[in-house]
Amino acid sequence: MATEKRHLDQELEAIRENLLKMGGEVESMVSRAIHALLHRDDIEAQEVRDQDRRVDALEKRIDEECLRLLALQQPTAVDLRFIVSVMKIVNDLERIGDSAENIAFAVLQLNSEPPLKPYVDIPRMAEITQGMVRDALDSFVGRNAALALEVRSRDTRIDQLYEQLFRELMTFMIENPENVRRALHILLIAHNLERIADHATNIGEDVVYYLEGRDVRHPVRDAAGGTGE
């Protein structure tokens, strides 16, 4: 039994390593997509799009390993929660990769025209969002439930920045029709950053479930009614 348990531990450790590898790929996609925007770098944007295939392959592999362990080892308690959480986290990571790919696509469109204006809000949104993804993954590695929950609190700031940018870009479009195309692509980038922050929040919630067995999703909303996403 002790040998079996040790064997399961080794398998779980292998899954953890693959998850971190996938997390690293996804973090690099987001950071390179934003770098490609700020430096108007088409090649880097194109590379981000290629990188998404590796992320998709890792998703399938980790899912397969989790399913095999569930079927053969029938893990319980914290081991079971670990596996279920990993499957959920992997799903969110894959969607973060898709969002980074969408950003890279918008960058390619933007690079074909002169810049609309210096980017200020996007780098700020990107910095907070990237910190959320990093801390959500760190909370998993370091088994830190407080950090995992804290990630969610930053989501409000991202929603505010997105609202603000939305209004600003709408004004640009109304002021001058020549701005419309570029403003739409910038809006797409902001929208995808906002989604990445949502996924980081989900990952934080999954980490709390893994560590404490509590489902902290969908907290009661305030009277104003957030989207709850």
> Applying CB under 8 A, which residues contact a second copy?
49, 52-53, 56-57, 59-60, 63-64, 67, 70-71, 74, 76-77, 80-81, 84, 87-88, 91, 95, 98, 101-102, 105, 170, 173-175, 177, 180-181, 184, 215, 217-218, 221, 225, 227-229
Nearest distance in Å: CB 208, a second copy: 13
CB nearer to a second copy: pick between 119 and 166: 166
Q: How far, rounded to the nearest angstrom, does the alpha carbon of residue 1 sit from its chain's CA centroid? A: 38
Retrieve residue 21's tokens: 């590898």
Retrieve residue 11's tokens: 């398998």
Nearest distance in Å: CB 76, a second copy: 6
| CA pair distance 180, 161, nearest whole angstrom | 20
With beta carbons less than 8 A apart as the criterion, state whether 62 and 90 touch.
yes
CB nearer to a second copy: pick between 49 and 157: 49
Nearest distance in Å: CB 146, a second copy: 22
Nearest distance in Å: CB 229, a second copy: 5
Nearest distance in Å: CB 87, a second copy: 7
CB nearer to a second copy: pick between 25 and 52: 52
DSSP letter assigned to residue 214: -
List Cβ neighbours of 55 (8 Å cut-off, separation of 6 or more): 22, 25, 26, 29, 93, 94, 97
| CA pair distance 27, 227, nearest whole angstrom | 25
With beta carbons less than 8 A apart as the criterion, state whether 201 and 228 touch.
no
CB nearer to a second copy: pick between 124 and 181: 181
